[in-house]
């Protein structure tokens, strides 16, 4: 398999705990009243991202839908595209290798919502977070199966991984924040 770059790239990601930093960097996604997304923000900050491998989303009812593209914040999209390219190269551009690791299972990206169990909006609401293979990497589980190489590739771009959380682990989750 092709080797990937492991040198940490310095990214200007904002501190997750600072709403001011998040809003300054990613824009404020809150619309009037703060309970839904701002259409102006969506137009200004959301761009389409495409994975180099085939991805699918499995709904709660079991229906599987192909994911051709998804919305992501324009400030983090170039980094995510580099991450995807590095993962694709690492697995020799082999769809079967991607699927064997569950990386084709899209769990979501942009979603204007609060953090589960919190009154603060999620990093998914800023469109700077992505979930992969939720079936095998569930929120709050003691362990997940996210490949170490994938975690390393995301971290090489300065991304934070939910498997490193001190409290409730989120093995599927990657976010472009500090």
pLDDT digits (tens, 9 = 90+) for 141-155: 999 999 999 999 999
Instruction: Supply the pTM of this predicted model.
Output: 0.91
- Taking the C-alpha atoms of residue 100 and residue 145, their distance in angstroms, rounded to an integer, is 11
Nearest-CA neighbor of 153 among 82, 62, 76, 103? 82
Which domains, ranges and CATH numbers included, belong to the chain? 19-175 (3.30.1380)
- Taking the C-alpha atoms of residue 93 and residue 70, their distance in angstroms, rounded to an integer, is 20
- Taking the C-alpha atoms of residue 169 and residue 33, their distance in angstroms, rounded to an integer, is 31
- Taking the C-alpha atoms of residue 53 and residue 55, their distance in angstroms, rounded to an integer, is 6
Give residue-wise pLDDT tens across range 58-96.
888 889 999 999 999 999 999 999 999 999 999 999 999
Q: Buried b vs exposed e over 49-84: b needs ≥16 C-beta within 10 Å?
A: bebebebeeeeeeeeeeebeebbbbebbbebbeebb
């Amino acid at each position: 398999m092709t080797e990937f770059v492991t040198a940490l790239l310095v990214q200007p990601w904002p501190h997750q705990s600072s709403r001011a930093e998040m809003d300054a960097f990613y824009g404020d996604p809150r619309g009037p009243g703060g309970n839904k997304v701002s259409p102006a923000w969506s137009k200004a900050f959301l761009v389409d991202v495409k994975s180099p491998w085939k991805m699918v989303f499995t709904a709660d009812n079991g229906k599987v839908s192909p994911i051709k593209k998804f919305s992501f914040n324009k400030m983090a999209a170039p980094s995510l595209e580099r991450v995807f390219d590095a993962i694709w190269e690492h697995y020799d551009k082999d769809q079967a290798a991607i699927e064997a690791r569950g990386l084709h299972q899209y769990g979501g990206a942009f979603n204007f919502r609060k953090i589960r169990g919190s009154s603060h909006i999620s990093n998914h609401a800023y469109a700077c977070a992505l979930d992969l293979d939720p079936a095998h990497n569930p929120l709050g589980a003691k362990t997940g199966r996210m490949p170490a190489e994938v975690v390393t590739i995301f971290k090489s771009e300065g991304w934070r991984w939910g498997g490193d959380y001190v409290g409730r682990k989120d093995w599927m989750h990657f976010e472009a924040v500090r």
